[in-house]
Amino acid sequence: MLDWLREELTRYYTSVKVLKQGEQSTVQVMRHNTLHTDMIVRDFTGSGEVYEALQKISHPNIPVVYEVAQEGSHVVVLEEFIDGTTIAETLKTQTYAETEAVNIVMELCGVLAVLHSLGIIHRDIKPENVMIGREGRVKLIDYGAARFYKSYQVNDTVIIGTTGFAAPEQFGIAQTDNRTDIFSLGILLNVMLTGEHPSRRLYPGKRLARVIQRCTQIAPDKRYLNVQRLEKELGRWR
């Protein structure tokens, strides 16, 4: 399957731009030679089980996954190209107004509620992985670090995440669960509002500051129980 997919890509597509390249992963935009349509091709070492699950999901905040091929620990994923801008790109020149930041996080709560109901923990929510499409739709991208929650495990088998946004349990002290993504949402909200991590500068608005502080508690039990409760709290603010 993997060889067939590579052959198809070589025959019918041309690389347009490499978005990310590392020792274990490459992400690039490829364009169909005849149709002139773009798609994202992810080539990485890991597990493709989350992408296989996403292939069966149709959700406005999740990029469409067209194809997943895996051979051993080598995975290639073909997914929808999103024409838009990441939060990270926007933050290079400006921060977000309260209403806009809250609306984005609430939309992320909606998509995470679906993912969490399937047992999927994203584990890498950060400005680079949230896109705003040209039509204004929020898209949660890059599920290379995502995993399925397994009730019988004490901690994660692979330590992964982005320093500054990753919850403490992602570094081997406990298993990640839905509250792990809530921690990252709290960091993201503060960064969108201030341009800085809450440990350096907490947003001064008291009500949203309390939300951010609860999301980012070290102990998972002290955070919001689930994204639905966080969304409800943010809805009260709005």
4 residue type, one letter: W
135 versus 50: the higher-pLDDT residue is: 50
Secondary structure (3-state) at 172: coil
pLDDT digits (tens, 9 = 90+) for 58-116: 999 999 999 999 998 899 999 999 999 999 999 999 999 999 999 999 999 999 999 99
Q: 5-14 long-range CB contacts below 8 Å, 24 or more apart?
A: 5/67, 5/69, 5/76, 5/78, 6/76, 9/41, 9/78, 13/39, 13/41
> Is 3 an annotated catalytic residue?
no
Q: What is the pLDDT of residue 41?
A: 96
Out of 3, 83, 124, 181, pick the active-site residue: 124
What's the CA gap between 176 and 118, in Å, rounded? 14
- 182 token code pair: 């809530």
Residue closest to 161 by CA, chosen among 144, 149, 185, 178:
144
Q: What is the pLDDT of residue 36?
A: 94
Average pLDDT over residues 191-207: 95
Q: What is the pLDDT of residue 167?
A: 76
Q: What is the pLDDT of residue 132?
A: 96
Q: What is the pLDDT of residue 129?
A: 96
107 versus 147: the higher-pLDDT residue is: 107
- For all residues of the chain together, what is the average pLDDT? 89
Tell me the CA distances in angstroms from 4 to 1, 8, 9, 76, 168, one per residue in order. 5, 6, 9, 11, 40
pTM: 0.89
Confidence of residue 157 (pLDDT cuts 50, 70, 90): very low
DSSP state of 37: -
Confidence of residue 168 (pLDDT cuts 50, 70, 90): low
